[in-house]
Amino acid sequence: MNGLALVVNEDCEYEEPIEIEPYYGIRGLVSWEMADDIKLTEDADKAEWYITNLEVDGTQELEIKVDDFDRTNLILKELPDYVKLHRGWQGCPCSMMASLDNTFDAVMFIGYHSPASSEGNPLSHTMNLRNQYVKINGVLASEFHINALYANYLGVPVAFLSGDENLTNIVKEFNPNIETVATKTGVHGAVVSRHPNITNQEIEDKVKIALSKDLKNNLVEMPKSFTVEIQYKKFNDAYNASFFPGCKQVNSDTVVFETNNYYEVVRALKFIL
């Protein structure tokens, strides 16, 4: 495909390329304390490969949305002129997807992780550590699930995802046309990480495949209605959330929100999650 406009959304807790002692890659994180110690460096970023590769394919616009850590290793002046860097939290309801609108041809998710209450990753969570789980229409919702539905709401297909093995299996259930690469496997409180030379090559190959497809097949039919269920770790959070319009507390630590419009889902999540 030529003339692509793409968003690369990086969830940096699990990003591919970082090779910094003593952890040799964020792919191997098993605790938040390890994340706090990481100092990112300029030459540790895989995003430059995506940019270089996509330039060959005729990309007209590439916006990189970076979440979580302070991504000082991305030096904008050293990237191609058509690149835009969206760093930090904008504060809008679409949260991690603040870069995305319906003018883009596709979005790619880099370094994503399993949802809260999942054993697929020692650091499994959904948006924050305050909830026990988030469900949408009865399905345990990861950040991928929330963001992919928002992309579909805009009519933008998800082309590719890298992350832990459990999540890549979840992605294939969501839409088997999305290309994936599993960089590590969660084993209870541990992770088994594959060598970055191998996974980086797989990412290169799979991104090329993803962008050569008819991406219309990567869209899914949106549900006609949405039921969001959140169980909090602290019961008072459920009480507080119950005052959001349309949100009902169904037991001491759980609320439910129902709507027919997915934008109302992400609006609610901004305030109750």
Average pLDDT over residues 28-40: 43
Asked if pLDDT for residue 245 goes beyond 90, the answer is yes
Percent of the chain whose predicted confidence (pLDDT) is above 70: 75
Whether 198 contacts 220, CB under 8 Å = no
Percent of the chain whose predicted confidence (pLDDT) is above 90: 46
Closest CA relative to residue 89, chosen from 66, 108, 64, 56: 66
Strand order in the sheet with 106-112: 83-87, 61-67, 5-11, 106-112, 158-164, 179-187, 190-193
Of 264 and 44, the one with more pLDDT? 264
Asked if pLDDT for residue 18 goes beyond 70, the answer is no
Query: What pTM was estimated for this model as a whole?
Result: 0.84
How many Cβ atoms from other residues are within 10 Å of residue 176's Cβ?
Answer: 11
pLDDT single digits (tens) 115-141: 999 988 888 999 999 999 999 999 999
Half-sphere exposure of 222 (CA within 13 A, CB side): 21
Asked if pLDDT for residue 221 goes beyond 80, the answer is yes
Identify the band that residue 57 occupies on the pLDDT scale cut at 50, 70 and 90. Answer: low
Which of 34-48, 66-80, 87-101, 244-258 is least confident?
34-48
pLDDT single digits (tens) 165-184: 999 999 999 999 999 999 89
d(CA 96, CA 8): 11
Whether 167 contacts 141, CB under 8 Å = no
Whether 104 contacts 218, CB under 8 Å = no
Radius of gyration of the chain (CA): 18
d(CA 26, CA 10): 13
